[in-house]
A and B are shown apart, each in its own frame.
Chain A
Amino acid sequence: MDFTHAEHHELLRKSVRDFARVEVAPHARKWDEEERFPKELVPKLAALGLLGIRIPEEYGGSGMDTTSYAICVEEIAKVDGSLALTVASHNGLGTGHILGFGSEAQKKKYLPKAARGEWLAAWALTEPGSGSDAAGLRTTARRDGDGWVIDGTKMFITQGSVGGFCVVLARTNPAVAKQRGITAFVVEHGTKGFSASKHLEKLGCRSSDTCELTFDEVRVGDEQRVGDIDCGFTDTMKILDRGRISIAAMALGLGYGALDMAVTYAKDRKQFGKAIAEFQAIQWMLADSKTELDAASLLTYRAAWLADEGRRYGQEASMAKLFASEASSRAINRALQIHGGYGYTREFAVERHLRDAKICEIGEGTSEVQRMVIAKGMLHDA
């Protein structure tokens, strides 16, 4: 067994880390306070290749694998959870759905623009009335001549207002079991009847754009349908499997980022005549965090490796996301504790990491849902 990363993965990590240090870290606090999506960064993300990580070169992307996708998200999350969420969802969900299940014409139309950052991608599954029970969605698409008419509301959609297009899941057949009658469509911004609410106000990831979307008699041609009719939910589950690896990676980055801050602070801060790092209580917190984050990292990169090998990885992705997101929140909580009162202020980034990390326990399936997926894999799919 070999636990070393490939050379190109190491080079990638270094490059994204340098980029994040220079282009992201100095602004992350300001973007969070302004609760504003940093549009001005998009061309730089595109130039580095971060908006088309897994898109093949023939469609203008970087042609990298799932491990690379995780590395990019992790390195960005070390300094900014919001941007990590943007990069994770743009690559994994919206463009991921077209890449995985779109027609050749759809790939040619959407992927190059997505990679260039001209069109950010959103992906709309969740609704006001259906979250964990994703297949319970009520948005409908009914046949209308050659095309379709979409009606409904979607909730918590990342890149909802700043995106150029959105892949939306809608019910096309109410007569069959709820998972069986769902189809995906790609809808462009500017299409009549399609609108986004204002950016929702959130606890964390406040500079990631999250919106409610309304589809009011939105007419699209059949060429906007992504994948087969009534098969959208199966594709959705595959999109979420890979997406969960990126959320695990985001949790890792936030956790490691906070742990680094805690180590630096503990060596620097003096109480009772010595650095607080000399107190065993502090050392144990650091040791626990490092151990749990390394365990989370192994789970995450195992799932990514399985994906790259073309093997099944759904259960492993859920384990990675479950453990990494919870380990990360624990690690950041300890990091904040180590910072004492200063950690509670906005002068230090650790409070921002704490707020940002919570989404990793909720988005792309809550921790409870991950446990359901893992147990199902053990009890039913074996």
Chain B
Amino acid sequence: MKILVPLKRVSDPDNANKIKVGAGKVETTGLEWKPNPFDEYAVETALRLTENGTNAKARLGEVTVVTFGPKETETTLRAALATGADKAIRVDTTDDAIDGDLLARALKALVEREKPDLVLLGKQQVDGDANQVAQLLAEYLGWPQATFAGQITSEADKALLVSREVDGGSIKLRVTLPAVVSVDLRIVNAVGVTSMHTPPTHKYSDGVRFAALMAIMAAKKKSLTEVKLTDLSPDTALKIKYTGFDLPPARKAGVKIKTVAELVQKLKTEAKVL
């Protein structure tokens, strides 16, 4: 199975206190970056689908990772190559020159070039939180889609049985490949992914894998190519325009309450929740 995984770096959510907003944009200088966690789950899913878990060094299929961003974002790609992805593509652009729709259109062009059987995405970015690229891409490609996957079983690499996380439970659906699937946190549980290549007795660890030292060295030699955004989508007009940014209001200091009566009183008059 050939899988394409788009991934993106986001500002480290643990450093949220360092974020500053300037005139009409978020200041990114000085921020620390890390891969979007949901994208890391998508890479892990792709790796589990294309290997025998008992010998994770040999890839039984191909995993291509792609990111949209400036030169520095190649580190994010190299990190994915070091965990086992086969090749990487960087589409040269910057965050403020793309939105979800343009990304989906450009990805469609890339899919037509790369011809994957499956596009696996994180359900959303933890910075923009838009949650729309997978859905738009499936629509533009005319492919079946399954979003918020918490469990995937590959059926002879021809179809996927996907358990989708929804309010109050999960929905199981079968998508025939090629398809677009977005993943949720639970997919990287030990039993998140089942593939015919891995014996059922093999147990994965919860979470995403660590890059092995040898694989970090091997990643230096893997292919990482650059593509121009206009080569994928000549029309680079954006559909979303940001009009302003504000930091969330700072939390006010709490108060100490002596009696239950006082608490109830405050819940009624100040918090207004009773």
A: which residues have CB within 8 A of B? Answer: 7-8, 10-12, 14-16, 18-19, 22, 47-50, 53, 57, 61-64, 68, 72
B214 engages A8 (CB within 8 Å) = no
| 8 Å CB contact of B214 from A7, A14, A57, A72 | A57
In the bound assembly, the distance between CA atoms of A216 and B78 in angstroms comes to: 53
Interface hit among B136-144, B205-213, B226-234, B245-253: B205-213
Nearest CB of chain A from residue B204's CB, rounded to whole Å: 13
Nearest CB of chain A from residue B32's CB, rounded to whole Å: 11
In the bound assembly, the distance between CA atoms of A68 and B217 in angstroms comes to: 11
A50 engages B213 (CB within 8 Å) = yes
Nearest CB of chain B from residue A329's CB, rounded to whole Å: 29
B213 engages A53 (CB within 8 Å) = yes
Nearest CB of chain B from residue A40's CB, rounded to whole Å: 14
Additional 18 contacts, C-beta under 8 A, given A8-B220, A53-B213, A62-B217:
A7-B78, A8-B216, A8-B217, A11-B211, A12-B211, A14-B211, A16-B210, A18-B210, A19-B210, A48-B210, A48-B213, A49-B213, A57-B217, A61-B214, A62-B213, A62-B214, A64-B213, A64-B217
B216 engages A12 (CB within 8 Å) = yes
With CB as the reference atom, state the residue of chain A lying closest to B220. Answer: A8
B82 engages A15 (CB within 8 Å) = yes
A15 engages B207 (CB within 8 Å) = no
Tell whether B223 is near chain A: CB-to-CB under 8 Å: no
A63 engages B75 (CB within 8 Å) = no
Q: How large is the interface on B (under 10, 10 to 19, 20 to 34, 35 or more residues)?
A: 10 to 19
29 contacts between A and B (CB under 8 A): A7-B78, A8-B219, A11-B75, A11-B82, A11-B211, A11-B216, A12-B211, A12-B216, A14-B211, A15-B82, A15-B210, A15-B211, A15-B212, A15-B213, A16-B210, A19-B210, A22-B207, A22-B210, A47-B212, A48-B213, A53-B213, A57-B217, A62-B212, A62-B214, A62-B217, A63-B214, A63-B217, A64-B216, A68-B213
Determine the chain B residues whose CB is within 8 A of the CB of A61 once the complex forms: 214
B: which residues have CB within 8 A of A? Answer: 75, 78-79, 82, 207, 210-214, 216-217, 219-220
In the bound assembly, the distance between CA atoms of A53 and B213 in angstroms comes to: 7
Determine the chain A residues whose CB is within 8 A of the CB of B82 once the complex forms: 11, 15
With CB as the reference atom, state the residue of chain A lying closest to B56. Answer: A47
Determine the chain A residues whose CB is within 8 A of the CB of B207 once the complex forms: 22
Determine the chain B residues whose CB is within 8 A of the CB of A11 once the complex forms: 75, 78-79, 82, 211, 216, 219
With CB as the reference atom, state the residue of chain B lying closest to A49. Answer: B213
Determine the chain B residues whose CB is within 8 A of the CB of A19 once the complex forms: 210
With CB as the reference atom, state the residue of chain A lying closest to B205. Answer: A22
Nearest CB of chain B from residue A13's CB, rounded to whole Å: 10
Nearest CB of chain B from residue A263's CB, rounded to whole Å: 14
In the bound assembly, the distance between CA atoms of A22 and B205 in angstroms comes to: 11
In the bound assembly, the distance between CA atoms of A365 and B82 in angstroms comes to: 37
Nearest CB of chain B from residue A290's CB, rounded to whole Å: 17
In the bound assembly, the distance between CA atoms of A16 and B220 in angstroms comes to: 18
Determine the chain A residues whose CB is within 8 A of the CB of B217 once the complex forms: 8, 57, 62-64
Nearest CB of chain B from residue A183's CB, rounded to whole Å: 32
With CB as the reference atom, state the residue of chain B lying closest to A15. Answer: B211
Nearest CB of chain A from residue B56's CB, rounded to whole Å: 9
The 7 closest A-B pairs by CB, nearest first: A49-B213, A62-B213, A15-B211, A19-B210, A62-B214, A15-B210, A49-B212
Nearest CB of chain A from residue B82's CB, rounded to whole Å: 5
Determine the chain A residues whose CB is within 8 A of the CB of B214 once the complex forms: 49, 57, 61-63
In the bound assembly, the distance between CA atoms of A57 and B78 in angstroms comes to: 20
In the bound assembly, the distance between CA atoms of A259 and B99 in angstroms comes to: 41
With CB as the reference atom, state the residue of chain B lying closest to A62. Answer: B213
B75 engages A7 (CB within 8 Å) = yes
Nearest CB of chain A from residue B53's CB, rounded to whole Å: 12
With CB as the reference atom, state the residue of chain A lying closest to B82. Answer: A11
In the bound assembly, the distance between CA atoms of A63 and B215 in angstroms comes to: 10
In the bound assembly, the distance between CA atoms of A16 and B216 in angstroms comes to: 11
In the bound assembly, the distance between CA atoms of A66 and B184 in angstroms comes to: 39
Determine the chain B residues whose CB is within 8 A of the CB of A10 once the complex forms: 75
In the bound assembly, the distance between CA atoms of A132 and B76 in angstroms comes to: 47
In the bound assembly, the distance between CA atoms of A330 and B100 in angstroms comes to: 51
With CB as the reference atom, state the residue of chain A lying closest to B211. Answer: A15
Determine the chain B residues whose CB is within 8 A of the CB of A63 once the complex forms: 214, 217
With CB as the reference atom, state the residue of chain A lying closest to B34. Answer: A14
In the bound assembly, the distance between CA atoms of A14 and B78 in angstroms comes to: 12
Determine the chain A residues whose CB is within 8 A of the CB of B211 once the complex forms: 11-12, 14-15
Nearest CB of chain A from residue B164's CB, rounded to whole Å: 28
With CB as the reference atom, state the residue of chain B lying closest to A63. Answer: B217
Determine the chain B residues whose CB is within 8 A of the CB of A22 once the complex forms: 207, 210
With CB as the reference atom, state the residue of chain B lying closest to A72. Answer: B213
Determine the chain A residues whose CB is within 8 A of the CB of B219 once the complex forms: 8, 11
Nearest CB of chain A from residue B90's CB, rounded to whole Å: 14
Most B CB within 10 A of own CB, among A8, A22, A47: A8
Nearest CB of chain B from residue A189's CB, rounded to whole Å: 26
With CB as the reference atom, state the residue of chain A lying closest to B83. Answer: A15
Nearest CB of chain A from residue B246's CB, rounded to whole Å: 25
With CB as the reference atom, state the residue of chain B lying closest to A51. Answer: B213
Determine the chain A residues whose CB is within 8 A of the CB of B210 once the complex forms: 15-16, 18-19, 22, 48
With CB as the reference atom, state the residue of chain B lying closest to A115. Answer: B214
